[in-house]
Chains A and B, each alone.
Chain A
Amino acid sequence: MSVEQHIKLPEGSIEKTTTTLNLGPTHPATHGVFQNILELDGERIVSAEQTVGYIHRAFEKLAERRPLYQITTLTDRLNYCSSPINNMGWHLTCEKLLGVKTPKRVDYLRVIIMELARISDHLICNSVVGVDSGAFTGFLYVMQYRELIYEIYEEVCGSRLTTNMGRIGGFERNFTNAAFEKLEKFMAEYPAVLREFENLFTRNRIFMERTIGAGPIAAERALNYGFTGPNLRAAGVDYDVRVHSPYSSYEDFQFEIPVGSTGDCYDRFLVRNGEMWQSLKIIEQAYRKVQEFKGAEAEIYHADAPSYYLPEKKDVYTKMEALIWHFKIVMGETEIPPGEVYQSVEGGNGEVGYYLISDGGRTPYRLHFRRPCFIYYQAYSELTKGSMLSDAIITMSSLNLIAGEMDA
């Protein structure tokens, strides 16, 4: 029998001693759509080639066609696990450009929301590291409280995941009593849950052996790769945008920055865990500060910036000035000063930066998002070189790679 070769094998594929494995864009362990082509020698990874861009939605091009207040919806969809942080970062960028100063109560409310978003993001990451190492239960314990965070968002802005929260200058409405009640419930019940979650993982022998030594990175390499956020802090560098370039009155709060030493998965887990405790501390302080505003001050939820902040709908229908402002803002006839501004916030994954160039028109001339996930995913091949496949999976989930932020 003659053997007809119907399949054209690539060059050198018979002599090749490594296996090519496509950790393809759709895979239960890749949390998002991105691809890794791994060369394996048995179970050890020789090299990894990443492909991103499966969820590229051309935000930077879209942003050149939208007025400033319409870009908030794009920012939601960057790191969609903590979208309020991206929203607030965008509002801060616009406020810096436009010279709008927000009152303290707005700042404190923003801090509460941003820290809730940070807890939400870290919860996903840490529980999913558990899921990827085979421990599903922790994920379910904490998801109930993530639901509560979503309910708080819903009270504030109406949406749960892609929040489009706030306006340039503040919030669209005051926080309702229901929002504060849910927040109090969260603050009361969540610490016990987090402690229970810690008990499941932090000193769990199997979890420690899975994660210690998986995907370590030295501090100098991390800095050179542009790491920021928990991944950098796990490597031993205590850089946090909230401390270095305080925004939204973060300088009024007392909190610590948890720092690791080896930058491996266990350190990243612990850093995120520690940050959740610190976020709770910040939320409690912010809540107390918000409660101290009484009377008319407790009704302030936005800056006094009529050129940029849409007036109340009931005023638009009854008052002439409000109608004119509404018209001018929506039709884009308010003064947007030309200039360039770079503003960054501490997102769930690190420094989320907005580089905005305005030419005086109603839409940005150029908007560039500095996306931490995109920047640190480059290091993945270095992190996993020589490690086993299972370590590579754990490294990927502990890096907290969110496809939306990678691709924009």
Chain B
Amino acid sequence: MSIKIYYRVTEFNSVMALTNETIKERLKAKFTDQVSNFEEPYGLLTFEVPKDLNLKVMQFLFDDEELRFKFLTDLCAVHYPGQEGREIAVVYHLHNLTDNIRLRFKVFTPIAQPDVFTATQLYSTANWMERETFDFYGVNFVGHPNLKRILNVDEMTYFPLRKEYPLEDQTRIDKDDAMFGRGPGGVVSPIDVKVGPSVAGQAGPLNTADHGGPTSQDTRAGQGGDEVKPQ
């Protein structure tokens, strides 16, 4: 059987061809000042795009004869709680295989309404990447064919990788806190976590009614506030 190589990408011309400068100029020519914050951390061209233009920028980078960014390496999100109106950044890593050059661009969106256009029409790989981003950060990808949780359980009501949530799942009622070194007054810092009606009524380290010990075994929803006398 003859081996035919369909895409010989290893013959990329690493000497001249496309540089970060060229890409930056082409982008600035096409999108003027809407693309901003150009940086090159560790040699990788990074810039920011307003969230309504993410598809236009990606389509331009994909279709252009010189730019040819036809590979979406990665799509993820980052949460910056301090930045008002720009809390969630969706980061796209693109790769031009033929010229062997990568770039990264970011789209900022407010956490109150984190809508970003989906990239699935252009890159099929964005399907699960966006589902994962939705699962972790709650970014709503407008136009996604199947936007539901992928790695966490479907019943989860919150987006765990946001910075306000601690590492440990606070909604667990099956854990015996005494076994984890938490007693009355607990090591767990009291965080005002609103995680759904099923938990609000239960005794636990976050509800002051609990005085530690195995009382979580006999709590029922809606019965929070029972006084448990310490022994």
Contact = CB atoms under 8 A, between A and B. Distances in A.
A pairs with B: yes
Interface string B72-86: 111010110000000
A27 to B, nearest CB: 20
Interface in B62-101: 70-74, 76, 78-79, 91, 93, 97, 100
B231 interface: no
Interface residues of B, number: 45
Contacts of A344: 73
Given A226-B123, A239-B97, A339-B41, A353 B6 contact: no
B73 A243 contact: no
Q: What DSSP secondary structure best describes chain A's contact surface?
A: mixed
Interface in A46-92: 52-53, 56, 58, 60-62, 64-65
Contacts of B150: 52-53
B73 A226 contact: yes
Interface residues of A, number: 50
Interface in A220-241: 221, 223-226, 235-240
Nearest to B136: A60
B198 interface: no
Contact of B127 (A60, A65, A378): A378
B102 A342 contact: yes
B128 A96 contact: no
A278 B41 CA distance: 34
Interface in A349-394: 351, 353, 355, 357, 365-366, 368, 370, 374-375, 377-379
Contacts, number: 123
A260 interface: yes
A344 B93 CA distance: 12
Given A60-B136, A238-B7, A341-B41, 12 more contacts: A52-B150, A53-B149, A56-B152, A62-B167, A96-B42, A226-B125, A237-B9, A244-B10, A261-B1, A344-B73, A370-B73, A375-B128
23 contacts: A53-B149, A53-B150, A53-B152, A96-B42, A219-B7, A223-B70, A224-B125, A226-B123, A235-B6, A236-B6, A238-B7, A238-B9, A238-B10, A239-B7, A239-B10, A340-B41, A342-B44, A344-B73, A351-B73, A357-B78, A366-B78, A377-B128, A379-B124
